[in-house]
Amino acid sequence: MSEQDVLREFILESTENLNRLDSEIVELEQKPADKDLLASVFRTIHTIKGTCGFLGFPLLERIAHQAENLLCLLRSGERRLSPRLVAVILECVDAIRKILANLESTETEGPDEYGDLIVRLTAAIADPDDRPDLPPVTAESAPLEIEKSSGVSESAIRVDVGLLDKLMNLVGELVLARNQVLQFSNQKEDGTLTATAQRLNLITSELQENVMKTRMQPIGVVWNKLPRLVRDTANACGKLVRLDLDGAGTELDKTIIEAIKDPLTHLVRNCCDHGIETPEDRVVGGKTQQGVISLKAYHEGGQVNIEVADDGAGVDVARIKAKALEKGLIRPEQAERMSEHEAMQLMFLPGFSTARTVTNVSGRGVGLDVVRCNIDRIGGTVDVSSAKGKGTLIRLKIPLTLAIIPGLVAASGGERFLIPQASLLELIRLEGESAGKIESVHGTPVYRRRGRLLPVAFLNRILGLESAVQDEVVNIVVLQAEDRQFGLVVDGIKDTQEIVVKPLGKQLKGLTVYSGATIMGDGRVALILDVLGIGRRSGVLADHESQNRTAAQAAAAAASDNQRMLLFRAGSFSRLALPLSLVARLEEFPQSMVERAGGHHVVQYRGGILTLVSLASVLEPGSAADAPASHDPVQAIVVADGQRSLGIIVDQILDIADEVVKVRQSTARRGLLGSAVVGKEVTDFLDLRTVVQAAAPEWLERQGQKRSAAVMLAETSAFVRGLVRGELEMAGHRVVEAASAEEALSRLDALAVDLVLAAADLPPNGFAGLRDAMRQQPKLAEIPVVELAPSAGGRDAMLGSIAQLASAVALQGAAEAVESVEGRA
């Protein structure tokens, strides 16, 4: 074993122990007399101390040593555990964890910043006066039996996750080969072959099941950290909280466990911070002082349900609406129309947070949107229900595994497609007479299913395929995406199969209608449909939505990977489009509010003055459209640039289109970039710069006669990319996106880029990883790389400074610009 192996082993083992420690210490706080528990805590710290002394980590040893001394006093009964001592011990655990992290990444202990902690530790040991100053938080769950059994079990060995992944892949291949053999044996009528194939079938299925099991982990692995989290959060908020855990043994695939870790943490933290009231408020509300957060996990129909519930104040729908209005996510008249359930969905929008104050716990406007995003990504769903004053229940439905899924084989236009079973609700077959039962409502095909209208889409039309089948038989696959249902008409339905999901190459990444591909029994490739993408593309989901579409939903849509387009009408242009990422808000003003000032139409807006410009008069100067608008109320698209806003008056907002845009034809016409087919109709693309120039030329003057820069944006979150991209494009720069360091490097190689903006947490090795990789390539070494980090002035300030930086790069050249901007920062 090399020295590095020893170190890795030490870090691995210590980290595992530390994770157990967190929940044990919190439990200990509950039952200070539990000798076994105390002994276990003591043992863990002792082991760490011993090993690091051996390996020569003085800093780590010092902290562990002091912690051990303290625990020693507790164990001998000379001192009793007080909340203050618990806090100090937990702090030690954190410090040890931090040093371990340093060791893992740099192989050094990192800076000695723990002098203060050591002093407090020593003081705590010396000072016998341990008044309980804070009531303890309880965690009522026999903390996780599974953890207890680990470590002592001699029948278990540690296996590298990489090896398990490899095994899983191989089993995937085997499943495919098995499918092929089965199909072959069905064609040949050979008894021996059939018998052998059946045997192979059985063994493969069993092997698959068992290999899957090796990757299964109990959800308790994630829950383990929650008692500590709840304790700390509750203390920070001055609340009393009990955490109930039920079903910690429920098993999930490792990749899924990883994926739900952050969302669950967010949710529990939210419950603590937003859900549970302060003890005083609770008493007033007729409840016990102590709030309860309960987590429950259980299997149901091939999925795992995870419920996060609190008995707190519940969701205040009125407050949510008010907040959404204030943030400009919805308009007043929409707020009135919204149902309670719809209003609750607003909580999941990016940038939404109802916490009255920003605490260090939550209220920063990130959280629930991240939760939904992460859960969506693994094919799960989030639902929230709440009763005011009684509490909130958030239910997650998560698939068991991602690698091998059951799918329905459907045919359309002579091709086979797979539909993930998880999205499938039912199959409807219409024959003869009833085949004509697909009716049309205002151009949208619908089917009356048990008396309710189900919007219907035709797969071959969506994909541009010829239909091979006459109309005598109609097969409708009823699907669910998000919380909507729609019918998909296919030419034929074959059977169901276990399919191994394989990703599509990067050349096909822009296609939202497929989630991957698989190899069928005959060895040919078949595409797996992405139900959400199909629904969106067909317009089934969008049409349904547009009946009660809110700008809030539109904002959420901007987070998707595609360039989303706002469609509107102005003057003689019946269909204009603007990337949604450039739109700040949509507003309606009554005519009576519009005033004239400084040669412009203006309106008082959010405590300031918003300049209005009629789009028709910009695009068709001299036409009769000098009046702000002939419509009442006036519809305006608000675009913003840092501090300033401009309202563009249009005749009507039409829709939001969601597709990869291909500008087909450029126009010489002033104010237009070109035209393209969006949603099956020819659409003109508005050139925002022309409009801004006409209405607020000073915006452009400030930027001087600058050239534009080519900026690479390396950031995982499509939402953040959209945001930054919009800002840069507004300032006239060109933007190339990359979601990972790998993608960034490969694109950089092919493109000439002036500046790279990289997220701090860019996978796999963060901002620094990308920078270092670039420095190693002579071609890329000169390109400045700037970290995309939230600035102190908030999101707007960050965006503003990015645009400024890009302009400076274009103007002065890269190196000087970065220097000057960073010098100022």
Partner 1 sequence: MSVAQAMQYATFVVEDLFFGIDVLRVQEVLRYQEMTRIPLAPTVAEGLINLRGQIVTALDMRRRLGLKPRSAERLPMNLVVRAEEGPVSLLVDEIGDVLQLEAADFEAAPDNLTPAARELVQGVYKLKDRLLLVLDPDRALEVNEFLDTRPAGSN
Q: State the Cα–Cα distance between residues 257 and 143, nearest whole angstrom.
A: 18
Nearest distance, CB of residue 468 and partner 1, angstroms = 14
Dig out the tokens for 510 from the structure: 């822009």
One-letter amino acid for residue 481 of the chain: A
679, 726, 732, 784: which one contacts partner 1 (CB under 8 A)? 679
71, 92, 139, 176: which one contacts partner 1 (CB under 8 A)? 176
Q: State the Cα–Cα distance between residues 797 and 488, nearest whole angstrom.
A: 46
9, 104, 107, 173: which one contacts partner 1 (CB under 8 A)? 173
Scan residues 466-525 and list those touching partner 1 (CB under 8 A): 502, 504-508, 510-511, 513-514, 517-519, 523-525
The DSSP string of 181-194 is HHHHHHHS--HHHH
The answer to whether 816 and 742 are in contact (CB under 8 A) is no
Part of the chain binding partner 1 (CB under 8 A), chosen from 118-126, 431-439, 720-728, 741-749: 741-749
Decide: is 463 part of the binding site for partner 1 (CB under 8 A).
Answer: yes
Size of the site for partner 1 (CB under 8 A): 45
CA dihedral sign of residues 21, 23, 24, 29: positive
Dig out the tokens for 686 from the structure: 């508005």
Beta carbon nearer to partner 1, 179 or 224:
179
Nearest distance, CB of residue 743 and partner 1, angstroms = 9
Nearest distance, CB of residue 194 and partner 1, angstroms = 24
Nearest distance, CB of residue 731 and partner 1, angstroms = 22
The answer to whether 320 and 386 are in contact (CB under 8 A) is no
Nearest distance, CB of residue 540 and partner 1, angstroms = 13
171, 329, 462, 654: which one contacts partner 1 (CB under 8 A)? 462
111, 301, 443, 464: which one contacts partner 1 (CB under 8 A)? 464
Pairing of strands 138-140, 241-246: parallel
Task: Give the relative orientation of helices 115-126 and 83-106 as an angle to the nearest 10 degrees.
Answer: 150
CA dihedral sign of residues 92, 98, 101, 106: negative
Beta carbon nearer to partner 1, 111 or 464:
464
Residue with tokens 């009408």: 569
Dig out the tokens for 708 from the structure: 């534009």
* Angle subtended at Cα 154 by Cα 153 and Cα 160, rounded to the nearest 5 degrees: 90
Beta carbon nearer to partner 1, 115 or 464:
464
Scan residues 251-290 and list those touching partner 1 (CB under 8 A): none
9 to 2, 158, 562, 764: CA distances (angstroms): 11, 11, 44, 22
Dig out the tokens for 71 from the structure: 């625990």
Q: State the Cα–Cα distance between residues 630 and 637, nearest whole angstrom.
A: 16
Q: Annotate each residue in 699-738 with x if it binds partner 1 (CB under 8 A) or - if it does not, as one string.
A: ----------------------------------------
Nearest distance, CB of residue 765 and partner 1, angstroms = 16
> Which of these, 330, 322, 320, 722, lies nearest to 551 by C-alpha position?
330
Nearest distance, CB of residue 375 and partner 1, angstroms = 26
Q: State the Cα–Cα distance between residues 790 and 758, nearest whole angstrom.
A: 12
Beta carbon nearer to partner 1, 213 or 664:
664
119, 156, 318, 660: which one contacts partner 1 (CB under 8 A)? 660
Scan residues 750-789 and list those touching partner 1 (CB under 8 A): 750
Residue with tokens 């204030």: 326
163, 663, 768, 789: which one contacts partner 1 (CB under 8 A)? 663
Nearest distance, CB of residue 517 and partner 1, angstroms = 5
Nearest distance, CB of residue 660 and partner 1, angstroms = 6
Q: State the Cα–Cα distance between residues 25 and 65, nearest whole angstrom.
A: 17
Partnered with residue 683 across adjacent β-strands are 676
66, 345, 374, 460: which one contacts partner 1 (CB under 8 A)? 460
Residues 6+ away with beta carbon under 8 Å from 640 = 584, 646
If one counts every other C-beta atom within 10 angstroms of the C-beta of residue 370, the result is 16
Q: State the Cα–Cα distance between residues 261 and 219, nearest whole angstrom.
A: 9
Beta carbon nearer to partner 1, 537 or 585:
537
Part of the chain binding partner 1 (CB under 8 A), chosen from 418-426, 454-462, 603-611, 709-717: 454-462
Scan residues 524-553 and list those touching partner 1 (CB under 8 A): 524-527, 537
Nearest distance, CB of residue 524 and partner 1, angstroms = 6
Q: Annotate each residue in 406-425 with x if it binds partner 1 (CB under 8 A) or - if it does not, as one string.
A: -------x-x----------
One-letter amino acid for residue 366 of the chain: V
Beta carbon nearer to partner 1, 438 or 803:
438
Nearest distance, CB of residue 373 and partner 1, angstroms = 23
Beta carbon nearer to partner 1, 70 or 678:
678
The DSSP string of 741-810 is HHHHHHHHHHS--SEEEEETT-TTTHHHHHHHHHHTSTTTTTS-EEEE---TTHHHHHHHHHHHHHHHHH
258, 659, 787, 796: which one contacts partner 1 (CB under 8 A)? 659
The answer to whether 264 and 222 are in contact (CB under 8 A) is yes
Rule CB under 8 A: which residues touch partner 1?
173, 176-177, 413, 415, 460-465, 502, 504-508, 510-511, 513-514, 517-519, 523-527, 537, 659-664, 676-680, 742, 746, 749-750
